[in-house]
Amino acid sequence: MSLADDTSEDHGDHGGHHLPAVEDWPRGFGEASWWPFITAVGAGGIYFAAALFVLGRGQEPLVDPMYGPAAGVASVGLFLAGLYGWLYHAFVVNFWESGTDEHGSGTLRMAMILFLVSEVATFGAGFVYYFFIRAGAWSTDGFPDLLGSLIVINTSILIVSSFTLHFAHVALRKNNRTRFLQLLGLTLLLGVVFIGGQIYEYYEFIVHEGFTLTGGAFGSAFYGLTGLHGLHVSLGAVLLGIVFFRALKGQYSAEKHTSVSTASMYWHFVDVVWVFLVVVLYVGAEI
């Protein structure tokens, strides 16, 4: 999800802001950033904190009950700090710079691919949990109508947004700036509408249907997976918003569009994950 496309080859002071690049790494690492690793450690710490929280519950807890919440706060703080540093040094510092060279663009795209591989592992862990509970005795009693019109509309919106983003990128590579901006803005709007639709779905399920996170194993799996996906869509919307703002400032061209490529890869990934979620959670729950 790097937006560090479009940065210059100068590794100097950058207006007083120090970039975590060559001088921060052992010889041979090249132009690397340690912010993604901080973000990953913070994200991993959240799972560790959840384990400590579980171990700290019960009549005879295995660890101090305060370890879980303390580790959770520290991990979330580390995750947010890493995410801030990642976006700040990738985007804000070099906001007005021209662009990466061909080698730098390829490196950033590869970094995005590696990041998405780690995301596959994250969602995979959630699906493993779901399949584990799904293998036991199963009853749909108390489930709301998961396959209502809202989920169909919301899914259609997200799928359409992938197409609008793809053709926005195509338009940019053909130097059609007007069409690029229109389709990119439409993609961002569709993403925001999807997030609003998911929030409304939660409201209907919790307030009117009584289907909550603590309502059983399926409830925890449903809200855990859809909530994790919603967080990723929200982050994707932020990335697209940054790209859109930069596009309005004329920072992209047919030759310099690495941020658009990496943000598109991320957005298409969350779209594919959503389709899989619908098949497994929404449709699978009814089988």
Across 141-165, average pLDDT: 89
Per residue in 104-133, pLDDT (tens digit) is 566 666 777 777 888 888 888 888 888 887
Is the domain defined by 139-287 classed in CATH 3.60.20.10? Answer: no
Is residue 110 within 8 Å of 205, Cβ to Cβ?
Answer: no
pLDDT of residue 11: 44
Percent of the chain predicted with pLDDT > 70: 77
191 or 145: which leads in pLDDT: 191
Average pLDDT of the residues in 227-243: 89
Q: Which of 5-19, 101-115, 218-232 has the highest mean pLDDT?
A: 218-232
Residue of 252, 249, 272, 248 whose CA lies nearest to 261: 252
| Mean pLDDT score of the chain | 79
Between the alpha carbon of residue 219 and those of residues 65, 202, 212, 226, 249, the distances in Å are 24, 11, 6, 11, 44
What is the pLDDT confidence band of residue 31, given thresholds at 50, 70 and 90? very low
* pLDDT given for residue 135 in this prediction: 75
Phi, psi of 111 (to 5 degrees): -60, -40
Across the range 162-166, mean pLDDT stands at: 95
**Domain residue spans of the chain:** 1-116, 139-287
Give per-residue pLDDT as tens, 58-74.
Answer: 778 888 888 888 988 99
User: 179-226 pLDDT, tens per residue?
Assistant: 999 999 999 999 999 999 999 999 998 888 888 877 677 888 888 899
Mean pLDDT, range 170-180, rounded to an integer: 92
Non-local (6+) Cβ contacts of 131 within 8 A are none
> What local confidence, expressed as pLDDT, does residue 138 receive?
65
Helix, strand, coil percent content, the chain, rounded in steps of 5:
70, 0, 30
* Contacts made by residues 281-287, CB under 8 angstroms, sequence distance 24+: 281/130, 281/146, 281/221, 281/222, 281/225, 281/226, 282/146, 282/147, 282/151, 283/147, 284/134, 285/140, 285/143, 285/146, 285/218, 285/222, 286/140, 286/146, 286/147
76-93 pLDDT tens trace: 888 888 877 776 666 555
Look at residue 133 in the predicted model and tell me its pLDDT: 78
pLDDT at 268: 93
